[in-house]
Amino acid sequence: MQFRKLSKPALAAMLAAFLAVLLGGCAASGEVSISPLPSGERGSELGAGVRPLSHGPGYKGSPAWSLDGERISFTIDGYVVDKPLRGRDTRRWTARDFGAREIEANTGRSMLILGEDDESGGSGSLYRSLPSEDSTEVSEVAPGILTAEQVGEGGAIIAALESGEDESSLLLVRGDEVERTFGDAVEGSVAGISLSPNGRRLAISVAPPGEDAASEIRIFELSDGSESELVSLEEGRQVFGAPQWTEAGIYFVSGTEDGSGGSSSLYRLYRVPNGSGEPESAPGIGSDFAASGIKLSPDGSKLAIIGRLHANSPTNLHILDLAADTLSAATSSEDMDIRNNPRDMSWSPDGESVAIVARSSFSSPRVRSAPADGLLEEFYNLYEVPVGE
Amino acid sequence: MRGVAPWAVGSVLAFLVTSAAFLLLANLGTDPSEVRLEQRQSAPKSNAPLELALDENQLASFEAAPEQNMSLGVRNGGGDGLSDVNLTVEVYSEDTAAPEGQRQRKTIQALDPGESAEVFFDLDLSPPEAADEYPGPEQPRNIVEIRATTPGGTSAIRTVIFQPG
């Protein structure tokens, strides 16, 4: 069988027509066949790709991912719940009147939770929660806990205990046991803890005796409990949140409280390079950047920062690549109120996402055509922000 | 075999013209079909005839106090008459650990097509008793949820979120 070759113009016309139909078909099918995204997959006011992880009324905070990254827990109005990352089936872990402040560790099967102390003050009690179908009972692990930080991947934490007047002790807690106490008591009140990359030392922010706010950063040797001063801030300045010990040095946020209630615009991000005792402005973020909450990624390569590029720009989540000293915005909010407490920010175990807490700002009553339980931005809710490459 | 190529070209062109015609028709219907999809998913058919109207200026004038008189406009936007339109107004705190709020209920006996009615509710927008102990950064917001339903399944909802006083 023989076929005659088509002439070049005929071939070109056919090809052009075919491509036109193909491209037209793609465009048209994109417009007619895309159904509305289910709730949870729409972009939010925080930017494209940001997924809500909770909904409805209630003040949510302290997100904590399970070790496998499949579930996320959080506090809501003083109690603790968790839910599957992609589902809405919420499970309550404590009584509603529990008074939870923060979730310190979440293995997926148990949690360490800092709750209210009967004796009011800066400290709380550390509890372990092991929920069953019909019980939300918790067991007290240690009272008088000032702060804690998860260390390693097994759900263990290092906690600071208020061991006396203006004294703190550092403890390793695993499961429902205080496994060991490190060295002697530290003078002052420990406000933040960060483990060194080699796991042998801690950077701790401390409120010196007689002071309420942390104004010193010290290095604490886990092997023998010795400590040395790294940074002592001038009077009126304080460390906000826990320092973050990275391969490139120790990062911390510091500033002064102004008379109008402590504008975060006055807070700046600093770094103490390895081998130096001198804080410098953190490289890569710009001189006008106002930082508040910071949190190191699980692999130590990135720093999540809640902050503003300059005093008049909106608050957003930014990611600082510590190797390249480059900053990128992970959210693009114009007017969302993103919680800047470092406790309200949590990296996923794979380092691909950061959970944050935010709501929209409005001054006059807001009317919506949906039940409150289905609303998102009107209340503080959790959002998953993708930050992978 | 010399005659095969023109036939093939003709067939392909006929196919392309037909495809283009179908795509043109599909494109003509793009916008309405998207809207219809959205409506089917987010609002059942029965929602359309009942409309609720709130005076946003009035809402903005409310104080964080009891006895805030709210006017609610209810309109039958459908083509059939509605009977026994039940209105439920629930006031509760954003604080999910707080006790349940207050609920009021009123009924409109009948609404003809196009007819409107105005109904008044007294809202208690006082801060909750334990508002000072709320763990959030400010006192919890008050929520007013308004539902209108009929025995026939027609319904409408409005939710108002008030800033703390």
Nearest CA in chain B to A340: B137
Task: Give the Cα separation of B14 and A385 in Å (integer).
Answer: 50
**Spatial strand order in the sheet of A111-115:** A100-106, A111-115, A124-129, A138-151, A156-164, A167-174, A177-187
| pLDDT at residue A154 in the model | 78
> Quick one: pLDDT at residue A293?
93
Residues 6+ apart with CB under 8 A from B111: B74, B75, B76, B81, B82, B83, B85, B117
pLDDT score for B19: 66
Tell me the per-residue pLDDT of B5-42, one tens digit each, with 9 for 90 and over.
767 777 767 776 666 666 555 444 333 333 333 333 33
In a domain, B145, yes or no: yes
On whether residue B91 sits in a domain, the answer given is yes
- Cβ pairs A/B, distance under 8 A: 132
Within A41-99, strands assigned E span: 51-52, 60-65, 71-76, 79-84, 91-92
Predicted confidence band of residue A13 (pLDDT cuts 50, 70, 90): very low
* Segment among A6-10, A315-319, B7-11, B18-22 with least mean pLDDT: A6-10
In a domain, B67, yes or no: yes
**Residue range B75-129, pLDDT digits in tens:** 999 999 999 999 999 999 999 988 889 999 999 999 999 999 999 999 999 987 7
Assess if residue B25 is contained within a domain: no
Per the DSSP assignment, residues forming a β-bridge with A79 are A76
Q: Which of A11, A19, A32 to mutate to test the interface with B (most CBs of B within 10 A)?
A: A32
How far is Cα B160 from Cα A366, in angstroms, rounded to an integer? 5
A363 vs B34, B54, B163: nearest CB: B163
Tally the domains of chain B.
1
In a domain, B29, yes or no: no
The answer as to whether B62 is a domain residue is yes
Cross-chain residue pair A35–B54, CB shorter than 8 Å: no
The larger pLDDT score, comparing residue B6 to residue A214, is at A214
Could you tell me the two tokens for A72? 């996320």
Position A354 pLDDT exceeds 50: yes
Question: What's the confidence (pLDDT) of residue A36?
Answer: 35
Q: Please list every residue in chain B whose beta carbon sits closer than 8 Å to the beta carbon of residue A22.
A: none
Identify the domain containing residue B152 by its residue range.
Answer: 47-162
Chain B, nearest residue to A11 by Cα: B9
- What ipTM goes with this model? 0.77
Q: What sign results for the dihedral spanned by CA atoms A17, A19, A24, A26?
A: positive
Report chain A residues whose CB lies below 8 A from the CB of B9: 6, 10, 14
At B50, give phi and psi (nearest 5°).
-110, 125
- When CB atoms are compared, the residue of A24, A32, A371 closest to B33 is A32
* pLDDT of A133 above 90: no
Check residue B22 and give its pLDDT. 61
Interface test with B, best of A3, A59, A377 (most B CBs within 10 A): A59
Instruction: Read off the pLDDT band of A241 (50, 70, 90).
Output: very high
Judged against a pLDDT cut of 90, whether residue A126 lies above it is answered with: yes
Contact yes or no for A4 and B37 at CB 8 A = no
Q: Which two tokens stand for residue A149?
A: 């930080």
Minimal CA separation from B2 to chain A, in Å? 6
Q: Which residues contact A134 (CB under 8 A, 6 or more apart)?
A: none
| Domain annotation covers residue B87 | yes
A295 token code pair:
């949190």
Measured over all CA atoms, what is the biggest interatomic distance in chain B, rounded to whole angstroms? 94
Nearest to A93 by CA among A111, A105, A77, A107: A111
> Is the residue at B12 inside a domain?
no
pLDDT > 70 in chain B, percent: 75
pLDDT band at A30 (very low <50, low <70, confident <90, very high): very low
For residue A119, what pLDDT is reported? Answer: 60
Matching residue, tokens 């069988």:
A1
The pLDDT of residue A361 is: 85
pLDDT at A25: 38
* Residues A262, A242: Cα–Cα separation, whole Å: 18
Distance from the Cα of A12 to chain B's closest Cα (Å) equals: 12
Return the pLDDT at A24: 39
Alpha-carbon torsion, ordered B90, B91, B96, B100, to 10 deg:
-70
pLDDT number for residue B128: 77
Interchain pair A365, B143: CB under 8 A: no
CA distance A202 to A183: 12
Q: Which residue has the higher pLDDT, A1 or A46?
A: A46
At A64, phi and psi to the nearest 5? -145, 120
B132-143 pLDDT, tens digit per residue, is 778 888 889 999
Q: Cβ A17–B134 below 8 Å, yes or no?
A: no
In the predicted structure, residue A39 carries a pLDDT above the cut 50: no
Helix runs in B29-129, H state only: 30-42, 56-61
Contact B5 A96 (CB under 8 A): no
Tell me what the pLDDT averaged over chain B comes to. Answer: 81
CA distance B87 to chain A (A): 15
- Asked whether the beta carbons of residue B136 and residue A77 sit closer than 8 angstroms, the reply is yes
Cα–Cα distance for residue pair B115/A368, rounded to 1 Å = 23
In this prediction, residues A31-54 reach a mean pLDDT of: 62
Cβ–Cβ < 8 Å for A230, A223: no
Per the CB < 8 A criterion, the answer to whether A111 and A129 are in contact is yes
Q: Are the beta carbons of A364 and B60 separated by less than 8 Å?
A: yes
Q: What is the pLDDT of residue B98?
A: 87
Backbone angles phi, psi at A65, to 5 degrees: -80, 150
CB-CB under 8 Å, B16 with A59: no
Shortest Cα–Cα distance, B80 to chain A (Å) = 23
CATH code of the domain in which B137 resides: 2.60.40.10
CA distance A152 to chain B (A): 29
Q: For residues A373 and B159, is the Cβ–Cβ distance under 8 A?
A: no
Spatial distance between the Cα atoms of A285 and A353, rounded to a whole number of angstroms: 20
Partner-chain residue, chosen from B96, B160, B163, that has the shortest CB–CB distance to A367? B160
Cβ–Cβ < 8 Å for B146, B72: yes
Query: Does the pLDDT at position A143 exceed 90?
Result: yes
DSSP string over A151-219: ETTTTEEEEEEEEETTEEEEEEEETTEEEEEEEEEEESEEEEEEE-TTSSEEEEEEE-TT-SS--EEEE
Question: Which are the contacts of B126, defined by CB distance < 8 A and separation ≥ 6?
Answer: B64, B65, B66
pTM tops 0.90, yes or no? no
Is residue B47 scored above 50 in pLDDT? Answer: no
Residues from chain B contacting residue A380 (CB–CB below 8 Å): 136
